[in-house]
Structure 1
Amino acid sequence: MKLATSLAIAAAACALAAPASAQSFQKPEDAIKYRKSVMTLQAAHFGPLGAMASGRAPFDAQAAARHADVLAVVAGLGSTGFIPGSDKGDTRAKPEIWSEQAKFKGYGDKLQAEAQKLAAAAKTGNLDNLKAAFGPAAATCKACHDDFRRD
Structure 2
Amino acid sequence: MKALAAFAFAAATLAVAAPASAQFAKAEDAIKYRQSALFVMGQHFSRIGAMANGRVPFDAKAAQDNADVVAQMAKLPWAAFGPGTDKGAPTKALPEIWTEQAKYKEHADKLEAESVKLAAAAKTGNLDNLKAAFGAAAGTCKACHDNYRAK
TM-score (norm 2): 0.84
Residue 36 of structure 2 corresponds to residue 31 of structure 1 = no
Q: Counterparts in 2 of 1:48-87, with a 5 A limit?
A: 48-87=47-86
- The alpha-carbon deviation at position 21 of structure 1 amounts to 9.6
Distance in structure 1 (CA, Å) of the matches to 2:80 and 2:117: 24
Question: For the Cα contact (< 8 Å) 2:20–2:82, is it kept in 1?
Answer: no
CA distance in 2, matches of 1:90, 1:114: 28
- Cα-to-partner distance string for 1:6-57 (whole Å, 9 max, x where unaligned): xxxxxxxxxxxx9x79642100000000000111111110111000000001
Report the TM-score when normalising by structure 1. 0.84
The C-alpha deviation readout for 1:99-136, integer Å capped at 9, x for no partner, is: 00001000010001000000000000000000010001
Q: Which aligned pairs between 1:13-28 and structure 2 lie closer than 5 A? A: 23=21, 24-28=23-27
Report the CA distance between 1:83 and its aligned residue: 1.6
Matches within 5 A, 1:88-107: 88=87, 89-107=89-107
Q: CA deviation at 1:86?
A: 1.4
SS state of the match for residue 97, structure 1?
helix
Write the letter of the residue equivalent to 2:42: A
Q: Which runs of 5+ in 2 are unaligned?
A: 1-15
Query: What does 1:134-149 align with in structure 2 at a 5 Å threshold?
Result: 134-149=134-149
Q: Which runs of 4+ in 1 moved over 3 A?
A: 20-23
Gap regions ≥5 residues in structure 1: 1-17
**Identical pairs, percent:** 62
CA contact under 8 A between 2:51 and 2:57: conserved in structure 1?
Answer: yes
For 1:126, the equivalent position in structure 2 comes to 126
